Amino acid sequence: MSSPKPTSVTHVEASAIPFAVLTAWHTLIRSSRIFKGQRLLVNGGGVVGPSLPIAVVARCHVTPTCGNHTINQLMAADGEKSVNYTYEDKTLVLKCTPRRA
């Protein structure tokens, strides 16, 4: 199965998309073994986009962290709430206590 490359991305950018999706799938499904009802914080970066729909399909409660430029896209992809890391502290927004090292 194939689809045409959008004109808005370069060939190099388009070739990187499957790696981000595979990384998200491997991390969530194979390594972390997420399960229905689990709460997930997906912490910024290029894997947030593909991680969100994978976790939503697995029926997890997902909170992504992102910047101003992607917050609307992630909320449209069924994120329950989103943390804008440019001005919000995720520990305050999520009302959690960070683990001490």
Q: Which CATH architecture has domain 11-91?
A: 3-Layer(aba) Sandwich (3.40)
Q: 3-29 pLDDT, tens per residue?
A: 788 899 999 988 888 888 899 999 899
What is the residue extent of each domain of the chain? 11-91
CA-based nearest residue to 51, from 85, 21, 83, 94? 21
Buried b (16+ CB within 10 A) or exposed e, 68-78: eebbeebeebe
Lowest mean pLDDT among 1-5, 12-16, 45-49, 74-78: 74-78
CA-based nearest residue to 43, from 22, 27, 58? 27
